């Protein structure tokens, strides 16, 4: 019995180590583009920091890669979500959006954050500082509402 | 004993790993399935749109109000599906609307109009995409943005249809929202059966 378990465990462990060598692409860029959202709208420090820690990993051209973002299967998960998340909404390219699109995106942002749909749940499990508290939420939404009215 | 424990925990981690990973794979497959549907739909609509494009050409540069017909028709389909709380019907009309937007020909309009139309269509297409694959609450949120886009689009292209612009004061946290309807009677797409007759008619288009 123990022998069989051992064999299975060895196979499993090998597989777990094996997948670490499957390459994933990194979403990183050294320059902050002029079209960047935070650059353009100068939010208060707290708001900028919420956006950077909770949203920019999936919605900008620059993801942070602490060690746990580099191991499999986390790296896969992130690669998938970054490519999809960026397609939907890219803070790095926000300045290039038409006013119409800016408004729609900010409206969606308000709703997603209000209904606690963003940041995505499974992500906040491995990245607990990305979670947004009620007071942070209020701060962020209040500021985004003002930006929305100004466009 | 200790041995078994550590062996079991390795297995547990592995199983967890593959669960997460396989989730990701099934999602991929889903996506592919959808793409396929979309493609089939595109065929249908391309044909439809070809004919409307030809008629625009035949009339030379005079702008053809029927250019917006397919957009309005599909928009109203979504509207009526939301009035009836029918998520699937709204989704399928949303999918059709995506391909109608993709095939929309802007070259008959002035340069300034073209720019505006392109921005409207880019934005509206995204809303239609979301309507095609979201639960009903999200469909309604995107329908609100889509409605504004279609109103602005018609302001440029014109339309052959008689439409009414209705207003729901409650939606969007009390900020209110407009929608377009082909009937005078109020049938509210933002709340469906919950508040079917909530709203007022603002104007005839």
pLDDT digits (tens, 9 = 90+) for B38-71: 444 444 444 444 444 444 444 444 567 888 999 9
Cβ-Cβ contacts under 8 Å, A8 against chain B: 11
Judge: B145–A107 Cβ closer than 8 Å, yes or no.
yes
Regarding predicted confidence, which is higher, B173 or B106?
A: B106
Please answer yes or no on whether B11 and A15 come within 8 Å at the CB atom: no
How far apart, in whole angstroms, are the C-alpha atoms of residue A111 and residue A145?
A: 11
The pLDDT assigned to B4 comes to 56
Average pLDDT over residues A36-60: 93
User: What pLDDT score was predicted for residue B126?
Assistant: 96
Give the Cα separation of A118 and A121 in Å (integer): 7
pLDDT at position B152: 96
Residue B17 has pLDDT above 80, yes or no: no
Mean pLDDT of A100-107: 96
What pLDDT does B16 receive?
53
Which pLDDT score, from 0 to 100, does residue A80 have?
84
**Which of B149 and B20 is assigned the larger pLDDT?**
B149
Residues B154-167: tens digit of each pLDDT: 999 999 999 999 99
The predicted structure's pLDDT at residue B14 = 54
Residue B54 lies in a domain: no
% of chain B with per-residue pLDDT over 70: 69
pLDDT at B33: 39
pLDDT over threshold 70, residue B9: no
Contact call for B10 and A9, based on CB within 8 A: yes
3-state SS, chain B, equals CHHHHHHHHHHHHHHHHHHHHHHHHHHHHHHHHHHHHHHHHHHHHHHHHHHHHHHHHHCCCCCCHHHHHHHHHHHHHHHHHHHCCCHHHHHHHHHHHHHHHHHCCCCCCCHHHHHHHHHHHHHHHHHHHHHHCCCHHHHHHHHHHHHHHHHHHHHHHCCCCCCEEEEECCCCCCCCEEEEECCCCCCCCCCHHHHCCCCEEEEEC
Domain boundaries, chain A: 25-150
Number of domains forming the structure of chain B: 1
Show the domain range for B122. 65-204
Q: Does B155 touch chain A (CB under 8 A)?
A: no
Residue A1 has pLDDT above 90, yes or no: no
Q: pLDDT at position B182, please?
A: 97
The nearest alpha carbon in chain A to B4 belongs to: A2
pLDDT digits (tens, 9 = 90+) for A31-44: 778 899 999 999 99
């Amino acid at each position: 019995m123990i022998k069989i378990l051992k064999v299975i465990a060895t196979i499993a462990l090998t597989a777990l180590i094996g997948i670490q060598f499957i390459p994933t692409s990194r979403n990183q860029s050294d320059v902050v583009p002029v079209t960047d959202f935070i650059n353009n709208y100068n939010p208060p420090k707290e708001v900028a920091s919420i956006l950077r820690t909770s949203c920019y990993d999936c919605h900008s051209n620059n993801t942070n890669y602490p060690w746990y973002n580099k191991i499999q299967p986390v790296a896969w998960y992130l690669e998938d979500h970054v490519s999809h998340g960026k397609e939907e909404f890219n803070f790095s390219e926000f300045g290039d959006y038409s006013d119409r699109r800016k408004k729609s995106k900010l409206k969606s942002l308000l709703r997603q954050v209000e209904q606690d749909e963003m940041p995505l749940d499974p992500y906040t499990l491995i990245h607990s500082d990305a979670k947004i508290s009620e007071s942070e939420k209020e701060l962020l939404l209040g500021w985004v509402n003002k930006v929305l009215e100004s466009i | 004993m200790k041995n078994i424990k550590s062996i079991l925990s390795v297995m547990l981690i592995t199983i967890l790993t593959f669960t997460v990973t396989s989730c990701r794979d099934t999602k991929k497959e889903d996506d592919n399935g959808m793409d396929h549907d979309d493609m089939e739909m595109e065929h249908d609509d391309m044909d439809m749109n070809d004919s409307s494009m030809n008629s625009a050409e035949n009339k030379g540069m005079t702008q053809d109000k029927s250019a917006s017909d397919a957009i309005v028709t599909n928009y109203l389909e979504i509207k009526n599906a939301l009035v009836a709380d029918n998520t699937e019907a709204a989704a399928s009309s949303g999918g059709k609307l995506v391909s109608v937007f993709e095939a929309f020909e802007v070259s008959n309009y002035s340069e300034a109009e073209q720019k505006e139309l392109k921005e409207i269509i880019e934005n509206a297409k995204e809303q239609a995409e979301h309507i095609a694959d979201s639960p009903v609450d999200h469909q309604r949120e995107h329908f609100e943005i889509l409605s504004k886009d279609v109103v602005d689009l018609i302001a440029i292209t014109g339309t052959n249809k008689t439409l009414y612009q209705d207003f729901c004061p409650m939606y969007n946290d009390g900020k209110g929202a407009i929608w377009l309807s082909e009937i005078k009677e109020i049938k509210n797409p933002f709340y469906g059966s919950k508040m079917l007759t909530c709203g007022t008619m603002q104007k005839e288009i």
